[in-house]
Amino acid sequence: TSGIWTRMFMNQHTVMFSVSTNPAHPKHIGSFDPNCDVVEVVKDAYESSRMLRDQYYPMSPEVEIEQVNYKNPNEPVNIVYVPSHLYHMFYEFFKNAMRATVETHENSKYLPPIKVRVSLGHEDLTIKMSDRGGGVPLRKIERLFSYMYSTAPSPVIDNARNAPPAGFGLWPSHLTSVRQ
């Protein structure tokens, strides 16, 4: 668990004291984006998850994103954060939500959307994500953030087709989430 943070801080130190900047992200301060647009990162994670899901399922649920900025009501929600951490958390969340929604509604012509609400208060940021995928049984909640744990059945590898996407589970999200 501490390995993620150790590597991040080593990278941060190296980038901070090098003479060059990252041309892809010139405004970043090392790994940190001083003006990280949370909704844009969430949208990017959704699109990446959707492209992956579309390879294995005929359709994917849409996403509805609502943002509320109590500090600056007419402005997007921007925070100082590591965008790649936020992206990876939501990529895993979307993969899980899409799979569960598709499997729960497999006989339906309509998939209910995944809803995300990004709220920036005066002291904290809250991101709420909800889907209609049926939920996680109470007996499995305790293991939900364990390394490599998944509620999905183990994939069967077929030479004619790649196995459906399976990730690291939610444990990296648990490790990298912090309160602002």
Instruction: Tell me the average pLDDT across 118-128.
Output: 95
27 annotated active-site:
no
Residue-wise pLDDT for 59-115, tens only, equals 899 999 999 999 999 999 999 998 988 999 999 999 999 999 999 999 999 999 999
The chain-wide mean pLDDT, for the chain, equals 83
Please tell me the distance from the alpha carbon of residue 78 to that of residue 39, in angstroms, as a whole number. 8
At residue 165, does pLDDT exceed 70? Answer: no
Instruction: Give me the CATH topology for the region 32-176.
Output: Heat Shock Protein 90 (3.30.565)
Please tell me the distance from the alpha carbon of residue 39 to that of residue 168, in angstroms, as a whole number. 23
Give the start-to-end residue ranges of the domains of the chain: 1-31, 32-176
Q: What residues have CB less than 8 Å from 118, skipping those under 6 apart?
A: 38, 39, 42, 65, 66, 67, 68, 77, 125, 126, 127
According to DSSP, residue 113 is labeled P
43 annotated active-site:
no
Q: Is the CB of residue 100 less than 8 Å from the CB of residue 140? A: no
- Provide the whole-model pTM: 0.76
- Catalytic residue chosen out of the listed positions 11, 75, 92, 106: 92
92 annotated active-site:
yes
DSSP SS3 for 43 = helix
- Catalytic residue chosen out of the listed positions 95, 105, 142, 162: 95
**For residue 70, which of 136, 117, 108, 9 has the smallest C-alpha distance?**
117
- Catalytic residue chosen out of the listed positions 69, 78, 85, 96: 96
At residue 19, does pLDDT exceed 70? Answer: no
Beta-carbon-side half-sphere exposure of residue 85 (alpha carbons within 13 Å): 19
- Residue 151 token pair: 């509620």
Share of the chain above pLDDT 70, in %: 79
Q: What residues have CB less than 8 Å from 151, skipping those under 6 apart?
A: 96, 100, 136, 140, 144
Region of poorest pLDDT, from 70-74, 94-98, 128-132, 166-170: 166-170
88 annotated active-site:
yes
